[in-house]
Amino acid sequence: MADTLPSLATASSYRSVEERRAAGRELRKSVPRRSLGDWSPGPGRDAVAILTDQERSRVPELVPVRRERMAASPFSFFRGAAAVMAADLADAPRTGLKVQLCGDAHLVNFGGFASPERSLVFDLNDFDETIPGPFEWDLKRLAASFEVAGRSNGFDAAARVRLQTTLARTYAEAMADFAELDNLDLWYRLLDADQVLRDHAGQFEPDVVARVSRTMEKARGKDRLKALRKLTTMERGELRFASDPPLLCPIRELMEPDQEEELFRLVHEAFVGYRRSLQPDRRQLLERYRFVDLARKVVGVGSVGTRCWVALLLGRDDRDPLFLQVKEAQRSVLEPYLERSVYDHQGRRVVEGQRLVQATSDIFLGWERVVGPDGVPRDHYFRQLWDWKVSADVDAMDPPMMDAYAQLCGRVLARAHARTGDGIAISAYLGSGKVLAETMGAFAAAYADQNERDHAEAVARWADQDGS
């Protein structure tokens, strides 16, 4: 299938506001809102088999790292099991209200990062699984993640119910707000972290505000100069990636010495192709930097084992680094259950989805098909590494802090869905959020129970395999 410009617009997008509201309310008859809370495992369900199937495309020596990270806790397991949840959602009732899904909208995949204007923006920040689909799939994954995280942190049942109420009501109320905006006003809307803190500080306890402020300052310190200090070393007067296997493996340790010339040829070809995916002004900026070194880097939980590289480029001198993450993009785990992506190139699928969902995106976001050291071409996407990026320290959150975080995530997800789907119809379908809170609470609790069973089974089966 050739790459074409996708559109989520349908004939319904051009109906009057009242017609769209009426369609949203009418949908409640065929897909009752409470039906979204239904969950029971299907016949023959095998979560571990789904994860094992994923491992076939991963770097073999990194599979144990992935298993170790997922085995650490039910919450870690949930983070790595997007493919399992995709299969579970496939047979659930669907609203048909299509948006550009994040595809893996758990609470750690929200966070802060630098906008091109150098403000700290809070937004969704992981799009490996992005694809168009029903809005409730993102919402269910987010709700379940808060339930699993709340249990992991020892929250009682009442605190977890409050979390679901906060998340659902925030999402519904934000969707209602966005449904009133003109298209351009909605498109320009973003959550500037500093502005949010100033506007809403009075709603939170002083210690919550203080912790958020410290997190924001930490984010600004996680930049390319910190990467320079943490990830590189000086060898024979030249900057090179430091060796920290298996988490960071310089390319020189993965290839034979006589392959260096071939490596530079492959890197050059990859960057030539990648540059074509950038705007001309950003392409010119990139060309001010020269390639210096490459390393394989282990990232995340679910992504462990995919081929992820970091490239070091230098500009005017050794204090002017540019770090690019070059991450393998495989087919979205949601695609087998939804319409096929219009993009044959999986890196482009990720980039185009990210540009749609995020209010503002990394200036170096692009894609290319990269030939690895094994000679196999694979789709990748490129972005800056550590450009003020920070994720919430979920393990350290108490109920008030996680409740405040649920407000931020709910509003961000609603904005992403409103700008890529029919926010008017979605808002009319949802209503005030009271029913949604009960529905998502029921789903999240049931799915968290299932996740705990899956985690226990995976740990046991992986231990048996390691011992055999």
Return the domain boundaries, the chain. 11-219+393-467, 224-384
Question: Angle 214-312-115 (CA atoms, 0-180°, nearest 5)?
Answer: 40
Question: How confident is the model at residue 1, as a pLDDT?
Answer: 44
pLDDT at 105 over 70: yes
Question: How confident is the model at residue 360, as a pLDDT?
Answer: 86
Mean pLDDT of 429-439: 95
Mapping DSSP onto H, E and C, the string for the chain reads CCCCCCCCCCHHHHCCHHHHHHHHHHHHHHCCHHHHHCCCCCCCCCHHHHHHHHHCCCCHHHHHHHHHHHHCCHHHHHHHCHHHHHHHHCCCCCCCCEEEECCCCCHHHEEEEECCCCCEEEEECCCCCCEEEEHHHHHHHHHHHHHHHHHHCCCCHHHHHHHHHHHHHHHHHHHHHHHCCCHHHHHHCCCEHHHHHHHHHHHCCHHHHHHHHHHHHHHHHCCHHHHHHHHEEEECCEEEECCECCCEEEHHHCCCHHHHHHHHHHHHHHHHHHHHCCCHHHHHHHCCCEEEEEEEECCCCCCECECEEEEEEECCCCCCEEEEEEEECCCCCCHHHCCCCCCCCHHHHHHHHHHHHCCCCCCCCEEEEEECCCCCEEEEEEEECCCCCEECCHHHCCHHHHHHHHHHHHHHHHHHHHHHCCHHHHHHHHCCCHHHHHHHHHHHHHHHHHHHHHHHHHHHHHHHHHHC
Q: With bands split at pLDDT 50, 70 and 90, how would you rate the model's confidence at 130?
A: very high
Cis peptide before 246 (omega within 30 of 0): yes
Q: Who's near 172: CB < 8 A, 6+ residues apart?
A: 414, 427, 430, 431, 432, 433, 436
Q: What is the pTM of this model?
A: 0.90
The percent of residues in the chain predicted with pLDDT above 90, rounded, is 65
Query: Which of 23, 3, 4, 106 minimizes the C-alpha distance to 421?
Result: 23
Query: Which of 374, 332, 371, 377 minimizes the C-alpha distance to 86?
Result: 332
Averaging pLDDT over each range in 206-215, 216-225, 267-276, which range is the top one?
267-276
* Residue 62 CB coordination number (10 Å): 20
Question: How confident is the model at residue 33, as a pLDDT?
Answer: 96
Mean residue pLDDT across the chain: 89
Question: How confident is the model at residue 144, as a pLDDT?
Answer: 98
Tens digits of residue pLDDT in 263-310: 777 788 888 899 999 999 999 999 999 999 999 888 877 788 788 899
Averaging pLDDT over each range in 191-205, 364-378, 409-423, which range is the top one?
409-423
| Rg from Cα positions in the chain | 22
Stated length of the chain: 468
Question: CA-CA distances (angstroms) from residue 399 to 42, 218, 394, 428?
Answer: 33, 22, 11, 30
Q: Is residue 211 within 8 Å of 401, Cβ to Cβ? A: yes
Tens digits of residue pLDDT in 442-460: 999 999 999 999 999 999 9
